[in-house]
Structure 1
Amino acid sequence: MLQELSIRHFAIIDSLALSFERGLTVLTGETGAGKSIIIDALQLLTGGRGSGEFVRHGEKKAEIEGMFAIHKGHPCVPICREFGIDVDEEAIILRREISAAGKSVCRINGKMVTLSILREIGARLMDIHGQHEHQELMNAASHIRLLDDFGGASILKARGQYEEVYGRYAYLQSEIRRLSENDQHLAHRLDLIQFQLNEIEKAALVSGEEEKLEAERQQLANFEKLYGALSEAYNALSGDGKALDWLGLSINGLESAAEINEEYKSLHESAANSFYVLEDTVRDVSSLLDTLEFNPERLNEIQSRLNEISQLKRKYGATIDEILQYGASIAEEIDQLTHRDTHVNRLQKELEEAEFDVEAEGKKLSVLRSEAAAQLEKAIHRELKELYMEKTVFNVNIQNESGQFKKDGMDQIEFYMTTNPGEPLKPLVKIASGGEMSRVMLAMKTIFSRHQGVTSIIFDEVDTGVSGRVAQAIGEKIYKIAVHSQVLCISHLPQVAAMADTHLYIQKNLEGARTSTTVTPLSEEEKAAEIGRMISGVEMTDLTKEHARELLSLSAKLKHSAV
């Protein structure tokens, strides 16, 4: 849900900060006041294309920032974590800056991201529908997903099972194609990987070898410094008048004191223990000095081996372990190419088994989709009837052919419709007019919002071109969607505005020589006045005011029954 929106230096908006609530928020105002500019800002915030033309004249950049409340388990959370974005499962903050030169900077929870990532996250936070924007309905490729979402957990589980076996099926197909390529290409490939394997095997690499060689090289390269440091430590501890000698004298003194007073016995014991520890240290340092030997030939050998490893890392992997893994993989590939016919025959048998599994899972999925399609058709017809499209016939057209497998199943799904009795069903995109499409979209959203949970849905003048009882029905339908989702709606219809939980009035003001847009939340009395203006135009009469109050009273009853 969109909670806060901040817009600065965007088009004719100088600075604007808005808070939003759940339910239905309606934005009204005169044509040209800047209502659609706010929607433009939201589109850019969620990944829409931007340009320097959006920046307010005289300013360096436009800034748009929005805070969205999310519920636990929201689909944005795993996506954010995949891209290294910190998220606390309570809120997500999107920010978009566009410079006058057209450069765009996108951030999610303070982390800079690409426009594609912003678009991917934004699509799961906000659903924007303009007067001519019904992409999901007009794009037949999205219909299968819409049906699956409607079908719920049973279809999603069946689809997951299908995708699992399909993944195996597709892998086997690709392997067979790879092993069935032309002989010349495979011969070249075999020569290449055989050379690579020989080079790796000849090197006789050992896991962890590089680290040990680096440590030994470091010691040999700093031999003089190391020898000097150990000698200095040894000389300071051992010999006449050195640390151990003086510590021995202090032990004798403490021993004499302890004989006089037993309270000093612990001091004597502590000093004695320190003496024995230092004696062990002196012996260890002496042993190291005896074993240290500078060997320039060994240093050259190590450097040569490290250079060889470095060359192999540039070719085959970032570490020795990766090089060894690559060697194992090409050894397996060499075996496959050398015994190609045997492998192809084995893969063909596995493919036959996988095809049987895919078809079985695909048929199960098709049955569930057919059942969901029948339920969806009934639900859409109910919603369309309430929108005075009772003569309309909506159909989920499902085509499938045995053996034709795709990633999402065996089904080809497209929504068909006819708005006139006696006319044949045709694809949705070829049938519906603008006004009809708005009502079909509202019917779909009413249904899908119940399954998708709380999200933010924006309607930008989708009620254009309708009036009377249809306008009233659209207002009721938008409010029903808002029961399950946050809805922001720009409208010129008083019937829609009367259904609002929150009513924002947008107006254009002249401040000095500049034009700016302001947004004002309306009280109940102001809301009645604005609805009266929408009914009658500029001139307000007592009858208009009474009509507005009556419309608000009727809407309150309808809202109560909708809940």
Structure 2
Amino acid sequence: MIERLYLRELVTFSEAEVEFEKGLVVFTGPSGAGKSVLMSAILASFGHSTPGAAALCEVNLAKPLKLESEAYSLEEEVTIKTVKKEKVRHYIDGQNISKKALGELFAPYVQYLSVRDKGGFESEKLLAMIESSLLAQDKRYKKLSKEYKKRYATYKNQLLKLNKIREDEAKLTELIEFARYEVEKIEKIDPKVREDEELMQVKHQLSRIDKIKEVMQHATAIFDAESSVQEVYRLLDKDASVFTDALNQVRADFEETESLAEELEEMDVEQILDRLSDLTALKNRYGSVEEALRYKEEKKKELTGYENIEQDKSMLENFIRMEAGELNILAQQLSRYRQKEAVEIERKLSDYLAALKLPALAFTFTAKPFDESGSDICDVLLGGSRADTLSGGEFNRVRLALMASTIGKENRGGVLILDEIDANVSGDESIAIAEMIAQLSKVYQIFAISHQPHLSAKADQHLVVNKAAQKSEVRSLDDKERIDEIARIIAGENPTSQALEFAKKLRN
């Protein structure tokens, strides 16, 4: 519950501080005094869009039992502060928070009903209400709903994958063709590691072989003097082995060179140059022969992956076709539960609606392609009239009836803010609305602006807002002041004795 409101510099309020009680809190006072300004300050503190902002607004409240946040550390006594300087900033327990995050955090705990608001009867909200009622009392439905949502989430995920594959099919064909082209191009050349280095060496040798052969023809004359040199060593009684070994090595080298020359002469020079050109092209594109070979293996893996994608597509199509059939069956089962529960809600609502001077309400169900919520579109008829044709007053009386009929089920309590919800209604309707709101105040802390005596008389706390010299103030009334204020609501600024007596009667 909200325990305290403090604000400074808001429209005609220089400063205001109010401590609130549990149950029904009613604001009354002359038109234009500032009741809606105070209500808008409370709403703005919970992230609702309202005109204007106070220089400072501070709301203290007891933390709702199930209110938790991973983003913010919350005290048992929560403080929400709104500060307006150059721009409006929001804080919760001293931590900066956006208006949107504030609204989302308190959406389940702070509800707002205005006579100008005709929301709340959208299909998803009606289904959520019926679902909440079922989940609270039917274990079979709870299990069925859990299974449906789990399987639908899997189905949706797989459907997204399939759609992605289908969107990429044109690109996939291009990717497959490109990968095959790259692999075939490298495989056609079939490069070997270090082959380019070896061919470059052969090319270098080919460029020198004619010169080597020419020089060797003159150099072989060295062997003509071999025997003479050995004879000199013998006559000198010296060891000729060093000379002999050296000359044998020269002979071996010359023979190897001649053999290489013969091999080179048999080689196809053009073929070698073409091979080098291919290898150089690979190196220029991929960096090295090793990189080209690695790239080829990567493309081969891609081709295998693309083949798997085709298989995945076929498997996904089969899964989705079969799962769609199963989900349709589950959605129909959910619909049967919902329609049965809707009849039960209609029965429970009948007395509340009758008390509010409203005709009976009926839920209508229309089938749609299944989605996360099932296959139902839900609407309501009030005495044969569709929801979008109801007046704002009728809307809010129906919503009050729905709230009252579900107390103890999905309603978790919290704060309910009502803006002139009993405006423009007859006396009997005003009494019925006051009775309904009083019943709801056993679960909710309710803030209501009212110009009717019956709701004011039911209040657990009655606040009056007055304005003098363009300055507004708010204060809580004692018992005598409450009777006087109710009499003013009945008969105007100068109430009659009959109005005072009627006010006393309403309070008793």
Do these two structures clear the TM 0.5 threshold for a shared fold by scoring above it? yes
Matched residue type, 1:158:
L
Could you report, residue by residue, the CA deviation over 1:99-120 in whole angstroms, capped at 9, with x for unpaired residues? 3x4x221222221122211110
Q: Does 1:480 align with 2:439?
A: yes
CA shift for structure 1 position 2: 1.5
Question: What is aligned with 2:495?
Answer: 540
Return the structure number with greater relative CO, CA threshold 8 A, min gap 6.
2
Q: Which runs of 4+ in 1 moved over 6 A?
A: 188-194, 330-334
Q: Please list, as runs of the form range in 1=range in 2, the aligned pairs for 1:69-148 lying within 5 A after superposition.
A: 69-72=62-65, 74=66, 76-77=67-68, 80-81=69-70, 84-88=71-75, 90-99=76-85, 101=86, 103-137=87-121, 139-148=122-131
Could you report, residue by residue, the CA deviation over 1:161-218 in whole angstroms, capped at 9, with x for unpaired residues? 2110001111121222222235332356779999xxxxxxxxxxxxxxxxxxxxxxxx
Secondary structure, aligned partner of 1:346:
helix
Paired with 2:118 and 2:29, the residues of 1 have a C-alpha distance of: 24
Paired with 1:190 and 1:480, the residues of 2 have a C-alpha distance of: 70
CA shift for structure 1 position 449: 4.5
Question: What is aligned with 1:173?
Answer: 159
Paired with 1:34 and 1:192, the residues of 2 have a C-alpha distance of: 73
Tell me, yes or no, if the aligned pair for 1:45 and 1:122 is still in contact at 8 Å. no
Secondary structure, aligned partner of 2:481:
helix
Could you report, residue by residue, the CA deviation over 1:530-550 in whole angstroms, capped at 9, with x for unpaired residues? 111111111233222211111
Q: 1:331 to 1:35 in 2, by over 3 A?
A: farther
Q: Give identity over the alignment, percent.
A: 23
Paired with 1:331 and 1:484, the residues of 2 have a C-alpha distance of: 68
Question: What is aligned with 2:239?
Answer: none
Paired with 2:464 and 2:421, the residues of 1 have a C-alpha distance of: 18
Q: 1:173 to 1:333 in 2, by over 3 A?
A: farther
Paired with 2:468 and 2:174, the residues of 1 have a C-alpha distance of: 73
Q: Which one of the candidate residues 360, 364, 369 is aligned to 1:393?
A: 360
Question: What is aligned with 2:57?
Answer: 64
Tell me, yes or no, if the aligned pair for 2:64 and 2:109 is still in contact at 8 Å. no
Question: What is aligned with 2:504?
Answer: 549
Question: What is aligned with 2:316?
Answer: 347
Q: Does 1:184 align with 2:170?
A: yes
Q: Which one of the candidate residues 382, 386, 394 is aligned to 1:427?
A: 386
When the two structures are aligned, how many residues end up with a matched partner? 386
Secondary structure, aligned partner of 1:135:
coil
Q: Does 1:20 align with 2:20?
A: yes
Q: Does 1:160 align with 2:149?
A: no
Paired with 1:332 and 1:9, the residues of 2 have a C-alpha distance of: 70
Question: What is aligned with 1:412?
Answer: 377
Secondary structure, aligned partner of 2:73:
coil
Q: Please list, as runs of the form range in 1=range in 2, the aligned pairs for 1:489-500 lying within 5 A after superposition.
A: 489-500=448-459
Q: Please list, as runs of the form range in 1=range in 2, the aligned pairs for 1:227-376 lying within 5 A after superposition.
A: 336-376=305-345
Matched residue type, 1:369:
R
Question: What is aligned with 1:516?
Answer: 471
Q: What RMSD, in angstroms, separates the aligned Cα atoms of the two structures? A: 2.6
Matched residue type, 1:397:
T
Paired with 1:333 and 1:121, the residues of 2 have a C-alpha distance of: 47
Q: 1:189 to 1:5 in 2, by over 3 A?
A: farther
Q: 1:26 to 1:173 in 2, by over 3 A?
A: same
Q: 1:158 to 1:507 in 2, by over 3 A?
A: farther
Q: 1:144 to 1:190 in 2, by over 3 A?
A: farther
CA shift for structure 1 position 435: 3.0
Secondary structure, aligned partner of 1:339:
helix
Q: Does 1:441 align with 2:399?
A: yes
CA shift for structure 1 position 121: 1.4
Paired with 2:385 and 2:179, the residues of 1 have a C-alpha distance of: 55
Secondary structure, aligned partner of 1:517:
strand
Could you report, residue by residue, the CA deviation over 1:333-365 in whole angstroms, capped at 9, with x for unpaired residues? 975533333112222232244224423432332
Matched residue type, 1:407:
E
- Structure having the higher Rg: 2
Tell me, yes or no, if the aligned pair for 2:430 and 2:454 is still in contact at 8 Å. yes
Q: Does 1:8 align with 2:8?
A: yes
CA shift for structure 1 position 504: 0.9
Tell me, yes or no, if the aligned pair for 2:28 and 2:451 is still in contact at 8 Å. yes
Matched residue type, 2:308:
H
Q: Which one of the candidate residues 465, 472, 481 is aligned to 1:526?
A: 481
Q: 1:436 to 1:334 in 2, by over 3 A?
A: farther
Tell me, yes or no, if the aligned pair for 2:123 and 2:377 is still in contact at 8 Å. no
Matched residue type, 2:362:
N
CA shift for structure 1 position 460: 0.8
Paired with 2:339 and 2:302, the residues of 1 have a C-alpha distance of: 44
Q: 1:373 to 1:40 in 2, by over 3 A?
A: same
Tell me, yes or no, if the aligned pair for 2:33 and 2:465 is still in contact at 8 Å. yes
Tell me, yes or no, if the aligned pair for 1:96 and 1:106 is still in contact at 8 Å. yes
Matched residue type, 1:110:
G
Secondary structure, aligned partner of 2:475:
strand
Question: What is aligned with 2:266?
Answer: none
Matched residue type, 2:361:
F
Tell me, yes or no, if the aligned pair for 1:16 and 1:518 is still in contact at 8 Å. yes
Q: 1:334 to 1:9 in 2, by over 3 A?
A: farther
Tell me, yes or no, if the aligned pair for 1:168 and 1:354 is still in contact at 8 Å. no
Q: 1:3 to 1:332 in 2, by over 3 A?
A: farther
Tell me, yes or no, if the aligned pair for 2:45 and 2:82 is still in contact at 8 Å. yes
Q: 1:331 to 1:549 in 2, by over 3 A?
A: farther
Unmatched tracts of structure 2, length 5 or more: 181-298
Secondary structure, aligned partner of 1:452:
coil
Paired with 1:157 and 1:66, the residues of 2 have a C-alpha distance of: 41
Tell me, yes or no, if the aligned pair for 2:23 and 2:446 is still in contact at 8 Å. yes
| Structure 1, 361-370 or 490-499: larger mean CA deviation | 361-370
Question: What is aligned with 1:39?
Answer: 39
CA shift for structure 1 position 486: 0.9
Question: What is aligned with 1:150?
Answer: 133
Q: TM-score, normalised by structure 1?
A: 0.64
Paired with 2:176 and 2:15, the residues of 1 have a C-alpha distance of: 66
